Amino acid sequence: MTYIYFLSSNKTAVAGQLFMIKFFRKIWKFFFKKDISKLAFSDTNTANMVNLILFGPPGSGKGTQALKLVQKYKLLHISTGDLFRYEIGNKTELGLKAKAFMEKGELVPDEVTIGMLKNKVEANPDVKGFIFDGFPRTIPQAESLDKFLESKDQKIQALIALEVDDNEIVKRILERGKTSGRSDDNDESIIRKRIEVYNHSTSTVYEYYQQFGKSYSIDGLGTIEEIFNRLCTRIDSLG
């Protein structure tokens, strides 16, 4: 900001002019800062939010990494499993609809799932972003998610997939099965079927975001901290 001052040669007038200059500079500074803070607040809540989709096969450690990312980046973790349990447990309108389809052995329609997700996002306006855990699983779901976020001046910054070899996944889950108490953690054929379902359901969504340059694969082998550091490096590099 450049100021041009025109001062009188009269000392009294000069003093008055200097006072007015200081006064108006203070007024300008006050309002200028106020406007800037409003702009910054708006940016923080929309354009600067970090919205991620996190994929990983069963046994990849995705849940552990999601928790660490939530803590570091102050994000909200959203998984469809948690959404369904909450909505059904609280007997909400969407929860009752989902339960009705599930009891008939039918897939819950996308509009019901998306409705639950919208409720969760809109109930948390002050977070710095979201981690969508294992969702979306289909292109229509991805398109619905993008459309919803766009209506809030937001977007998905990245889809990050943890890559772990199938045999390593089987080994991990069989080991987990010794203490988890889950029968499906002790049957290799079931484990491999779960991996197959995961690969099939996520590949199309990965390709969908890849066309926008938003899909990334991260090596899921190593210690928890090593994997976490790879994730953070990728997230920090996002423009």
**pLDDT values of the chain reduced to their tens digit, one per residue, 239 residues:** 444 333 444 555 545 554 555 555 555 445 444 333 333 333 445 557 899 999 999 999 999 999 999 999 999 999 988 999 999 999 999 999 999 999 988 889 999 999 999 999 999 999 999 999 979 989 999 999 999 999 999 999 999 999 999 999 999 999 999 999 888 899 999 999 999 999 988 999 999 999 999 999 999 999 999 999 999 999 999 96
Give domain status of residue 102, yes or no. Answer: no
User: Are both 33 and 60 inside the same structural domain?
Assistant: no
Q: Which of 97, 194, 214, 230 is flagged as catalytic? A: 194
DSSP assignment of 90-122: TT-HHHHHHHHHHHTTPPPPHHHHHHHHHHHHH
Q: Which of 137, 172, 214, 230 is flagged as catalytic? A: 137
Give domain status of residue 39, yes or no. Answer: yes
Q: Which of 33, 147, 182, 193 is flagged as catalytic? A: 182
Give domain status of residue 70, yes or no. Answer: yes
Nearest to 129 by CA among 11, 209, 46: 46
230 is catalytic: no
User: Are both 38 and 139 inside the same structural domain?
Assistant: no
Report the C-alpha gap between 62 and 81 in whole angstroms: 14
Give domain status of residue 88, yes or no. Answer: no
Give domain status of residue 105, yes or no. Answer: no
22 is catalytic: no
The parent domain of residue 138 ranges over 50-75+127-236
Total domain count, the chain: 2
137 is catalytic: yes
User: Are both 57 and 165 inside the same structural domain?
Assistant: yes
72 is catalytic: no
68 is catalytic: no
Q: Which of 99, 171, 176, 234 is flagged as catalytic? A: 176
User: Are both 173 and 211 inside the same structural domain?
Assistant: yes
- For residue 160, the domain's CATH number is 3.40.50.300
